[in-house]
Each structure stands twice: as structure tokens, then as C-alpha cells.
Amino acid sequence: MKIFRELWVQVLVAVALGLIVGAIWPVFGASLKPLGDAFVKLVKMAVAPVIFCTVAAGIAHMGDLKAVGRLGVRTLVYFEVMSTFALAVGLGVGELLHPGRGFNINPATLDPKAVADYAAKAAHGQSVVDYLLHLIPDTFLGAFADGDLLQVLVIAVLTGFACTKMGAFGIKTAGVLDGIAQVFFGIIGVIVRLAPIGAFGAMAYTIGKFGVASLRNLGALVGTFYLTSALFVLIVLGAVAALSGFSVLKFLRYIREELLIVLGASSSEAALPLIIAKLQRLGAGKTTVGLVVPTGYSFNLDGTNIYMTLATLFLAQATNIHLSWQQELTLLGVAMLTSKGASGVSGAGFITLAATLAVIPDLPIAALGLLLGVDRFMSQCRALTNFIGNGIGTLVIARWEGDLDRDKLRAELDRGPGGDPEGLLETALPG
């Protein structure tokens, strides 16, 4: 049937098969984890070169350094406003619905060994100065070897600035970078065809390893988190999208393939190159997309922010620990900083949560053990919400910058997504 040639259908079928395999043969399902890991690694292999070439060439062609600086400031302002709002939403829903009520767990009975590794990683958190210094790679190629997107972004911006100062040679260099980008987008076009296999392996592992039964005891938290995230996307981000002239529902339909890939892989980075291409197809400028999307992977994590405040309140309620309004405000302020250290990788939000709990001495970090069984399911929702928030944020900032073809945006959203990933990626190549 023709419909089964569509990538999103293939991924959806693969996710369903993964659920079945993980539920019926849990041991075998858990053993399929390498399939999902391999797909994510293949995509991440090509992400850094794509970001570097797109941003550096875009700035070089742009030639206006003041415009680049203005774009950076506006991007960070938007991210901070939306992140703070997401944190407040998680806090408000936690207070309203009380998902942890009724657990009555004695903190003294919790086993700190279960979360010792996460606590250790959280304890090695960076100061502001350390974080800023970390943005500078030890070597030029070191950023690419480590796959650190912010380091790659810094190098790309510097390279683009240098090209603008080199006249005709700089323009020629930008053309070379455009050509290299063609190669890596071509590689991604091949890799993305493996998405169904990766989604199948990752979903089979999740269900086989943790089991749907693990949701039973913590169903209130998981359900509350998914509901809160869905309402945040539809109402908050929907309002932001409407003010910017497009429908959030049409946008979600347009990126359905990428959403299924993120769901299966439990990582928003798995679909990063595809969302870059689709945002450009929707009419956002190449430079804006190249700067905003990778920056958003560290600074615009709406799902992670909702999770951090909501999960903290859940743990406090489950262990009968009352938080004063002063503690909740402190939690909100600290989470605004610690959330910036999370990335698109599965499990990063859990480590960030461990670091955030340090501001509430009455709440033992061992309480995190209550979430271990369902964190993988929570991670999928975090990744999806982060991904959607970054896509919408990029279009909003592009319009703010006057770098969005609004007629093209409306036409593309009305037309819907194409089913050919190679054809999609060709739209991200230089004209």
C-alpha cells in the first residue's frame, strides 16, 4: 500500500511493534536497546557539521554583524520568558492537582544507593563561570569530537564573523561551507530511512526494561505530566503561535514524522537535522534557524522545566514534606539556572532534577528513587515538549526578526508535510 511508503507511517508501525515485543517478550525487548542507540548516534554524528556549516555560511552571507547580535539577544530573551513560564506552570499544576498525595512514604525508608550515580553527577554541577568557560572548546576539532552543540555554535559564529571580514575570499569560503553542508544533509537523508528500526528498538527496550506495570503506582504523576505538557503546547504555545500568525495544530501535523522519531528515540536530538530542514521549508531564514535551534537545545527546554517543578512537588507531597512559598520561589529561581544544563539526551532531565533538589534540604535526594521506574516514560514527554517548543520558538523569533516568509509559512502548513525525507533535506541546501 502506498501509505506504508510514508516515513511517519513506518515509524508509527515500528513504535507499535516495539510496544508489543517489549510487553510480550520483555527480556528480548530490552536486548534491542542497541538499535535505538545506534540510530541516535548516527544522527548525532552528522549534527555538528550541519550546525557549523549552516550557521557559519549563513552569517558570512548575511554580512551584518549587528543583525546577528540582535538575533542572539532576542533569542535569549524569548527563551528565558518561555522557560520561566513553563517552570511556573509545573509549579502551579503540582499545587492544584497534588499528584503525590496519598503516598505517605517515610523518607527514612528510602534507599539512597538507588540514585547514587545521579546524585554524584548532580554534585559535580558547574558554576556560572565554569559553564561559560565550557562553551569554549579545548581545540577547534574538539567540539566536533565531543558533539557539544553549544561549542560548535560558538566556533560557527566566530567562523562566520571571520568570513565577513575577508571580502571576496570570505564569500568563497561560505560557498565551500554550503557545499560541505550538502554532503552532510545527504548523509542524513540516508540515515533517516533507518528511523523505523531505531524507533522499534528504543520502544521495545523501554517497555521490556521498565514495563507498563511500572506506571501503575506512579500513574498520577505520569498522567499529570503528560496532561500538563499537552495543555502547555496547545494553550500556551498555541497562543504564541496564533499571535505569530499560524496554527499550532497545523504545525504539529507538519512535523508528525519528527515527533514520532523523538517519541521512539526518547531524544529530541534524533530529529534535529530534520526540524532544521522543515523550519527552512516553512519560510524561516537559514541563519535564524541555524542559530536558534541548537541554542534552544540548551536554553529552551519547556518539557524539562515543567517536569522539574512538577516532579519536585510530587516528591515533597509523597513524603509528606511541606514546602513554604519561600522554598517554592527559591525552587523556581534555582530551576531557571539548572535547567539550562539539560540537553536533548534521554535522562538529562533526571540529573538536572537531582541538582535542583539540593535547594530543599528537607527533601532527601534519595526520594528520586521513586521516579526511577517511570523516568524513561517521562523522558519521552520531556523530549517531545522540548522539540515542539523549539520549533515554534524558532518561527516566532524569525517573524520577530523579519526573517520569516509568512505567505510561504501559511502555504506550507496548509499543504502539509511531504513524505520524502531526501526531498525535504534538499530544501535546506543552498539554492
Q: Name the residue ranges covered by the structural domains of the chain.
A: 2-426
Residue 280's pLDDT band, with cuts at 50, 70 and 90, is very high
Q: What is the distance, to the nearest Å, from the Cα of residue 176 to the centroid of all Cα atoms in its chain?
A: 30
CATH code of the region 2-426 = 1.10.3860.10
Residue 117's pLDDT band, with cuts at 50, 70 and 90, is low
Distances from the Cα of 384 to the Cαs of 268, 330, 420, in angstroms?
7, 27, 22
pLDDT recorded at residue 427: 53
CA separation for the pair 42, 188 (Å, rounded) = 8
Mean pLDDT value of segment 296-301: 84
Which residues are CB-contacts of 104 (< 8 A; sequence separation ≥ 6)? Answer: 318, 320
pLDDT recorded at residue 120: 53
Residue 128's pLDDT band, with cuts at 50, 70 and 90, is low
Q: Which of 153-157, 224-228, 339-343 holds the top average pLDDT?
A: 224-228
Flag whether pLDDT at 101 surpasses 70.
Answer: yes
pLDDT recorded at residue 431: 42
pLDDT recorded at residue 430: 45
The proportion of the chain whose per-residue pLDDT surpasses 70, expressed as a percent, equals 85
Q: What is the distance, to the nearest Å, from the Cα of residue 334 to the centroid of all Cα atoms in its chain?
A: 20
Mean pLDDT value of segment 212-227: 81
pLDDT recorded at residue 123: 47
pLDDT recorded at residue 89: 93
Mean pLDDT of the chain: 83
Of the candidates 271, 354, 243, 259, which has an alpha carbon nearest to the alpha carbon of residue 307? Answer: 354
Q: 373 or 109, which is more confident?
A: 373
Q: Which of 106-120, 235-249, 310-324 holds the top average pLDDT?
A: 235-249
The proportion of the chain whose per-residue pLDDT surpasses 90, expressed as a percent, equals 31
Residue 285 has what DSSP assignment?
Answer: -
Residue 424's pLDDT band, with cuts at 50, 70 and 90, is low
E strand or H helix at 258, and its extent? helix 256-265
CA separation for the pair 146, 152 (Å, rounded) = 10
CA separation for the pair 348, 87 (Å, rounded) = 17
> Rounded to a whole number, what is the largest CA-CA distance in the chain?
70
pLDDT recorded at residue 82: 93
Lowest pLDDT segment from 68-77, 282-291, 347-356, 422-431:
422-431
Cell of 124: 559535580
Residue 217's pLDDT band, with cuts at 50, 70 and 90, is low
Residues 1-15 have pLDDT tens digits of 667 778 878 888 998
pLDDT recorded at residue 284: 94
Mean pLDDT value of segment 72-79: 91
Flag whether pLDDT at 337 surpasses 80.
Answer: no
**pTM across the whole model:** 0.84
pLDDT recorded at residue 345: 47
Residue 426's pLDDT band, with cuts at 50, 70 and 90, is low
Phi, psi for 404 (deg, rounded to 5): -130, 125
CA separation for the pair 270, 420 (Å, rounded) = 17
